[in-house]
Amino acid sequence: MPDQLIFATEVILNGLMAGVLYALVALGFVLIYKASGIFNYAQGVMALFAAMTLVGIMNGQVPFAHLINAVFGGHITHFGWHIPALLAILLTMGVMVLLAWCVQRFVMRHLVGQEPIILFMATIGLAYFLEGVADLMWGSEIKTLDVGLPQGINLWIDEATFNIFGYGFFIDNLDIVATVIAALLVAALVAFSQYTKQGRAMRAVADDHQAALSVGISLNFIWIMVWSVAGFVALVAGIMWGTKSGVQFSLSLIALKALPVLMLGGFTSIPGAIVGGLIIGVGEKLFEFAIGPLVGGATENWFAYVLALIFLVFRPQGLFGEKIIERV
């Protein structure tokens, strides 16, 4: 097997793994958009907020310690204990559910019936508000997140080297574990949407709010549930990306990588988010591998957006999105 083919296979596998993570982030957007028609610009900041909250809880950090010390002149920083990762994840999920309730109670319920641009602007405000709250609660320094996921080379997976026809190539253990977890979560979300009573109610709300109300579906409950699920997706994404690159404010930018995924797959399609994520993941890796050396590299920074622009021109609804026809 030629060396170039081996390297291309490695590139494709890494692209698939990155694509699953892109799809996971995109699912948070799709869930909220399907249930409420809101494009949630704050999804990336929710991942940042969840990751920072998880680190703070695990380390026993006092929330708003900097603010408390500035006002009262103290030097309090930590409670003096460390919480196990699993319990900290559960507590963080509780915080994200509380956040979902607050968003619905104090923001979104007052904007029912407003134009989509108003709702979008509200989520932009929510994003900056959450970023500021996260800074006040946990500080702005870069944090290390370790929930026990294997990283680097590990013997339990044969030093992360898969041997095919006598040739081997390296794949990071963290990427493998993150891909498996993300794939399981994506499958669970699809099953939840298609086969559970709450999932069917969510799809009914997405199709027609008034019809859903007429059959006894609570819009408030559905929206809180959807924002909670999106918060859980943000938490998982924050754990994966935070473990890989550290918990820092640039973590919120992962949402920008989900935009081309949504444009390819369609804003209302869960399968579209999955397929779009895989296309973007594999496409940007292969393009960097094949074309990058000819144009000076760094094509991963813009390839996804160029591909999304092409789709917007020729198929605005995406691969799986619904084509909306308005009569005037």
Question: What does the pLDDT profile of the chain (328 residues) look like in tens digits?
Answer: 556 666 777 788 888 888 888 888 888 888 788 777 788 888 889 999 999 999 999 998 888 888 888 888 778 888 878 899 999 999 999 999 999 999 988 888 888 777 888 888 999 999 999 999 998 899 888 888 888 877 765 444 444 444 444 455 567 777 788 888 888 887 888 788 788 888 888 877 776 767 777 888 887 888 888 889 889 989 998 898 888 888 888 888 777 778 888 888 888 787 888 888 889 988 888 888 888 788 777 788 788 898 888 988 888 877 876 665 555 4
Q: Which residues pair with 278 in a beta bridge?
A: none
Pick the CATH number of 3-314 from 1.10.3470, 3.40.1000, 1.10.390, 2.40.160: 1.10.3470
Asked whether the beta carbons of 111 and 118 are under 8 A apart, the reply is: yes
Task: Give me the pLDDT at residue 285, please.
Answer: 87
Please name which of 176, 175, 192, 325 lies closest in space to residue 270, comparing C-alpha atoms. Answer: 192
In whole angstroms, what is the distance from residue 37 CA to residue 207 CA?
Answer: 10
Q: Residue holding tokens 């294997």?
A: 150
The two tokens of residue 30 are: 């799709």
Task: Give me the pLDDT at residue 157, please.
Answer: 43
Which residues, other chains included, contact 34 with Cβ-Cβ below 8 Å and sequence gap of 6+?
202, 203, 206, 226, 268, 270
pTM: 0.85
Task: Give me the pLDDT at residue 201, please.
Answer: 83
Q: Which residues pair with 78 in a beta bridge?
A: 61
In whole angstroms, what is the distance from residue 85 CA to residue 47 CA?
Answer: 17
Task: Give me the pLDDT at residue 168, please.
Answer: 54
C-alpha separations of 43 from 169, 178, 321 in Å: 34, 19, 20
Domain boundaries, the chain: 3-314
CA angle (70, 50, 112) in 5-degree steps: 100
Helix (H) or strand (E) holding 193: helix 173-195
Task: Give me the pLDDT at residue 159, please.
Answer: 44
Helix (H) or strand (E) holding 168: strand 167-170
The two tokens of residue 163 are: 């041997």
C-alpha separations of 175 from 19, 52, 107, 138, 171 in Å: 11, 21, 37, 27, 7
Task: Give me the pLDDT at residue 154, please.
Answer: 45
Task: Give me the pLDDT at residue 294, please.
Answer: 81
Task: Give me the pLDDT at residue 52, please.
Answer: 93
Please name which of 162, 184, 157, 187 lies closest in space to residue 173, comparing C-alpha atoms. Answer: 157
Q: Report the Cα 133 to chain-centroid distance in Å.
A: 19
Please name which of 133, 117, 102, 120 lies closest in space to residue 32, comparing C-alpha atoms. Answer: 120
